[in-house]
Amino acid sequence: MTKLPLNPYLPSWEYIPDGEPYVFGDRVYVYGSHDKYNGHVFCLGDYVCWSAPVDDLGNWRYEGVIYPKTSDPYNRDGSMCLYAPDVTVGPDGRYYLYYVLDHVCNVSVAVCDEPAGRYEFLGYVHYQDGTLLGNAPGDEPQFDPGVLTEGDVTYLYTGFCGHGDRGRHGAMCTVLGPDMMTIIEKPVFVAPGAVYSEGTGFEGHAFFEAPSIRKIGDTYYFIYSSQVMHELCYATSKSPHEGFRYRGVLVSNGDVGLENGKPKNVPDAYIANNHGSIVEIAGEWYIFYHRHTNGTWYSRQGCAERLKLRDDGGFDQVEITTQGLGARPLPGKMKYPAYTACNLYLANAPGRFGDGCPKIVQDGRDGDEEIGYIANVQNGMVAGFKYLDCKDVGTLTVTTRGYINGEFELRLSPDGEGCGRVRVHGSNIWQSFTADVDVPDGVHAIYLCFIGGGGGHLESFELK
């Protein structure tokens, strides 16, 4: 099971949001910020890196800490957090890491000779007179750098546009010279914030944060988190610093915008901020994004889905799933941990977010390699797993603990008829319960819907 691609794609005890994926050699590397389990704010950890073979996307390897947060001269005491980073390969073949600290409006740069080695602080992005980007008259604060290097120049994309903030106009592109830090073309705006989006084509999906940049053929793809926060959108242009046109939504971490057996604008997972990008791996395109766990905004986990590049260069919005990076539906007869649920909500309050709702948690403290599970199981909870290839399935086993008394009904759609029920009762330890079910052969979404009283935990389910 450790080799089977699942969402989240990293272990359930790892919290790496804001994923920027790249293929270097025969491996895909993911760079992101680093949340903590039970963290009280975003991005409390050092930068770490994970990688996987391009032909085995379920086999992720921990590369270790690549950049401690105390490496920046502004942050020797570690009092500031490392926000979402990005990496690019410079004209000298070295790897350059760009980031912003949470209380500083400048862009920092670190460098390394290999993709996942220990990066060393290099300096700050600056104008030719030495003034730091973000400090010059007319500069807007820098945030969430995304970078793309072509030849001797690097395009740096930054920005954050809070709701109603007229002082921030949109996403910016700044051109850097071959030393990877000196500005040779000052910032220009490439995508508007919500306040300035009227008449631009970005209305309703204007830039909020999380700029990322990719190039496919002769076209630049600007990926970003929109004003509604839970979705990653994209715009395209033939130029890296002008003419971007809004193209659509890539993914919503609550599947808002997709029907999937529910009303189009009703979320079937907890929606909050989002950040990620696209990558081509072995000829297939993927979108990396993050989800929210622990009933807060501050314990986010990386997920990924397969995209299809249309003939016109566009992408359709993709559905969030459990199978994630996998090319095929998951085996139907298998045991799955509950934390792999791609849909999780209360039937009478979809999208509600907080401690009282069902949520994905773990035992122990941050860093403890404890398998995640669903807590706050209660009447009306729906947990969805997509997609399983079922054949000759006749029993369902669920493993629970806590003070619950009721039944898990297995459905193939959120409000569909049940295929069977498993009765459970309270237990102080993990205990398994089994019942017969009647699942037709075929590829299905599997929904476990709890009907009953009390509250407890769901560790896993198994179909046989």
In tens digits, the chain (464 residues) has pLDDT values of 447 999 999 999 999 999 999 999 999 999 999 999 999 999 999 999 999 999 999 999 999 999 999 999 999 999 999 999 999 999 999 999 999 999 999 999 999 999 999 999 999 999 999 999 999 999 999 999 999 999 999 999 999 999 999 999 999 999 999 999 999 999 999 999 999 999 999 999 999 999 999 999 999 999 999 999 999 999 999 999 999 999 999 999 999 999 988 889 999 999 999 999 999 999 999 999 999 999 999 999 999 999 999 999 999 999 999 999 999 999 999 999 999 999 999 998 877 777 789 999 999 999 999 999 999 999 999 999 999 999 999 999 999 999 999 999 999 999 999 999 999 999 999 999 999 999 999 999 999 999 999 999 999 999 99
Residue 260's pLDDT is 85
Residue 358 shares a structural domain with residue 278: no
Tell me whether residue 323 is in a domain. Answer: no
CB 111 within 8 A of CB 96: yes
The position carrying tokens 């009227």 is 198
The three-state secondary structure class of 204 is: coil
Whether residue 274 sits in one domain with residue 341: no
| 209 catalytic residue (yes or no) | yes
CA distances from 229 to 123, 204, 218, 220, 224 (A): 31, 11, 29, 22, 9
pTM, whole model, 2 decimals?
Answer: 0.97
Predicted pLDDT of residue 354: 74
From 194, 260, 264, 189, select the one nearest 228 (Cα to Cα): 194
Total of domains in the chain: 2
| Residue 77 is a catalytic residue | no
**Pick the catalytic residue: 86, 144, 209, 231?**
209
- Domain boundary at 272, 307, 342, which? 307
CATH code of the domain in which 291 resides: 2.115.10.20
Query: By C-alpha distance, which of 293, 314, 316 is closest to 303?
Result: 293
Same domain, 269 and 372: no
The CATH number assigned to the domain holding 448 equals: 2.60.120.260
Domain range enclosing 194: 20-307
Residue 87 lies in a domain: yes
CA–CA separation, 186 and 135 (whole Å): 13
Q: For residues 266 and 343, state if they share a domain.
A: no
Residue of 94, 246, 267, 264 whose CA lies nearest to 181: 94
In a domain, 292, yes or no: yes
Find out whether 269 and 13 touch, Cβ atoms under 8 Å.
no
Phi/psi of residue 108, nearest 5 degrees: -95, 155
- Identify whether residues 226 and 257 lie together within a single domain: yes
Q: Which of the following is catalytic: 18, 305, 319, 407?
A: 18
Q: CB within 8 A of 240, min separation 6: which ones?
A: 148, 150, 155, 173, 213, 220
Looking at the structure, tell me whether residues 339 and 282 fall in a common domain.
no
